[in-house]
Structure 1
Amino acid sequence: MPTTVLAAGDHFVLPRLLTQELRDAVPEPAALDIRELQLPWPHTPFGKVAEVDEASGSEDDIIEALRGKQICVTQMAPLTERILTACPDLELFCVSRGGPVNANLDAATRHGVAVCYAPGRNAVATAEHTLALILAAARGIGDVHADLKQGAWRGDYYDYANCGIEIDGSTIGLVGFGAIGSRVARVLAAMGATILVHDPYVRPEAVRGLAQLVTLEELLDRSRIVSLHARVTDETRGMIGRAQIASMPRGAVLVNCARGALLDYDAVCDALNDGHLGGAGFDVYPDEPVPAGSRLLSAPGVVLTPHIAGASREVAHKAARIVAAEVARYLRGEPLTHCANPEAVRTRR
């Protein structure tokens, strides 16, 4: 009997991409019986579904689609206590995201459902987007672009006081040195920057020859450009506030493609308005979508993108490929590479 699979894709990680990667990973034609489900994200924003966050699709729709299925591969479908109770055949739930935030891990473990995820899927895309924002913010591209679109050719942008800064010769501080931060460091170093890193979980030998490990205080004090790459934890939430921004050199640039909760955006707007910060680039925010009245929308020198740093076609393919590989491992009885609750793995009959 074939293994029954639900490929619950959306408009980014398409159902057909999930299906194709599953077929490539499990080439035996009769091994899988795959049904596809189209979820509405991002045309409809994700949100909280019962007890899980950042999910797309209703519990009723997922229950109907999952009945009789042993495996689900998805990016945004919720996995809740109610869904698990209603779908006792489910054994494996693969989330093609950096973390399984749309899955109730405790409930999945109790029901014997292994939950996998796809770390690193968007590291390259996010690193490249970070570099784009650094360059745009350092050279004031946001404001000059907006002026030119409105028909204003402003010569005063060539005034010394209004000119941007170069990467070559600048000291750039990276808060976090994981898969994304380390990629950003390599490119910026190749462009001639001196790189400082603050990351309490990184050993000095990991940055040797590329960057210098320093305290957060030293990084902020010395860096003309600061880019955030930390995860949000109790330790890092709000780590860059009014005092930290004030300690940065006047005219410095601040970029965040990590998480909005790391940063006090009101303090950023004040610093942009009074000229202490020379520019900023953001892809993440405390409230998403950004509210119509947000101060960020009118602050000078800021470049904004709508949480799309991880949005590349390559990411969609990588995400599908990573979860398909987990399905193949599971069917072969091999250990799962990225399992959030390995104690729940069932012995395949």
Structure 2
Amino acid sequence: MQILVIGDPLLSSQKLAKAVYDVLGKNIKVHCVDWKPASNEEFWYLRSIVEKQGPSVGKPPREIFDFVSEVDMIITQHTPINAQIIDAAKKCKIIGVCRAGVENIDVDAATKRGIAVSRTMGRNAHAVSDYTVGLMLAEMRNIARAHAELKKGNWKKEYTNVSFVGDMYEKTIGLVGFGYIGHLVAKKLSGFDVKILVYDPYAKDDDIKACGGNKVTLEYLCKNSDFISMHARLTDETQGLMGADQFAVMKPTAYIINTARAGLIEEQALIDALQKKKIGGAGIDVYWVEPPAADHPLMSLPNVTITPHLAGSTKDTFNRTPYILLQEIKRAAGQGDLRWFVNSDEVNVILDEFK
């Protein structure tokens, strides 16, 4: 068996290769290629446009074509795998992605070639859920703002939310989306004795109740939550899910937290809500264009905590992910369980070689 591993600045091909050997055994020929944009800025820019426009706009390394025609499997993380690469992958049966989304893979082209595409669901769930709780505390308690002021020599103790700074105790938390990350946020917040509301049309009532939450409508969640935290996937259905109508019914003391995808929130509606203090504040880790322009309104607003898309970026997550992916592929081979394959309904996957 031959496998092509394609690393990137966050997860090298050597780490991917080690995971292949550790999980699938040493009797595998592994070809290593690394996607190396000219700078970190270019990497993040290309990653951002691929997220929005698909793999055809990326710039994958040409070295891929030295090996791709001979391999049975491709393993990568952020590298764009376009139709040209997939057409050249004559023997390939599986493309494995070390991330939950597959925006960097031309899934339609893979499906037409009978190649299964596997993702790594929940791979950064602990990292993102930790960060989400951290953003809630940072925004409500002005942690980042107080740090910045003290660094400048200012002993400042009052900020825009001075009249309603609170404790987490007995707050109502609204979770929009209840997948891996939403579940963990609910679990990690349970120690604060909060009330959990969930808006997710696809989540089961019993599952939500088992996590201490209640399933509600989006309108009810917006009206009654002290924090609204976004954890849905970005689809045509969820694009702009939080807009002017939703901000209009939120409490003026409520905070919105987004560690998921920027497109879940209408950009101008959020800016307007913050500028006019229709809501208490926001904690934002994801943006409509990354990085945001230096003169973007969020850069100067006093009632928002902003961070540069860091929520899922921990070494523990990156190092763990290829093992999770390969173990799931191996398990699927043994049990015929293809839940992690995004196109499993269309592709008749031959997994015998990976048992």
Q: Does 1:33 align with 2:35?
A: no
2:245 aligned partner, one-letter code: A
Structure 1 stretch displaced more, 113-122 or 74-83 = 74-83
Query: Per residue, is there more helix in 1 or in 2?
Result: 2
What is the TM-score when the length of structure 2 is the normalising length?
Answer: 0.88
Q: Deviations over 1:2-56 (max 9, x none)?
A: x1111111122222221111111123x3x2011211223682222439x834986
Unaligned ranges ≥5, structure 1: none
2:197 counterpart SS class: strand
Alignment correspondent of 2:223: 221
2:137 aligned partner, one-letter code: L
Q: Deviations over 1:80-118 (max 9, x none)?
A: 221122231322211111022222122112222222111
Alignment correspondent of 2:350: 346
Q: Do the aligned residues in 2 keep the contact of 1:39 with 1:56 (CA within 8 Å)?
A: no
Partners of 1:200 and 1:348 in 2: CA distance: 37
Among candidates 239, 258, 261, match of residue 259 of structure 1: 261
Q: Deviations over 1:279-303 (max 9, x none)?
A: 2101111111112221111111211
Alignment correspondent of 2:93: 91
Among candidates 128, 142, 145, match of residue 144 of structure 2: 142
Alignment correspondent of 2:82: 80
Paired residues for 1:1-349 under 5 Å: 3-27=1-25, 29=26, 31-40=27-36, 43=40, 44-45=43-44, 46=47, 47-48=49-50, 52-53=54-55, 57-58=59-60, 60-157=62-159, 161-162=162-163, 164-208=165-209, 210-326=212-328, 328=330, 335-342=337-344, 343-346=347-350
Structure 1 stretch displaced more, 339-348 or 127-136 = 339-348
Q: How many residues align?
A: 343
**1:22/1:337 CA distance change after superposition, 3 Å:** farther
What is the TM-score when the length of structure 1 is the normalising length?
Answer: 0.89
Partners of 1:152 and 1:64 in 2: CA distance: 58
1:309 counterpart SS class: coil
1:208 counterpart SS class: helix
Unaligned ranges ≥5, structure 2: none
Q: Do the aligned residues in 1 keep the contact of 2:177 with 2:232 (CA within 8 Å)?
A: yes
**1:32/1:214 CA distance change after superposition, 3 Å:** same
Structure 1 stretch displaced more, 176-185 or 333-342 = 333-342
In the TM superposition, what is the alpha-carbon distance from 1:65 to its structure 2 partner? 4.0
Partners of 2:319 and 2:202 in 1: CA distance: 30
Q: Deviations over 1:184-207 (max 9, x none)?
A: 112223211111111111222112
RMSD value, Cα: 2.5
Partners of 2:136 and 2:102 in 1: CA distance: 29
Partners of 1:211 and 1:221 in 2: CA distance: 16
Q: Do the aligned residues in 2 keep the contact of 1:25 with 1:325 (CA within 8 Å)?
A: yes
Partners of 1:206 and 1:15 in 2: CA distance: 38
Partners of 1:309 and 1:34 in 2: CA distance: 31
2:113 aligned partner, one-letter code: H
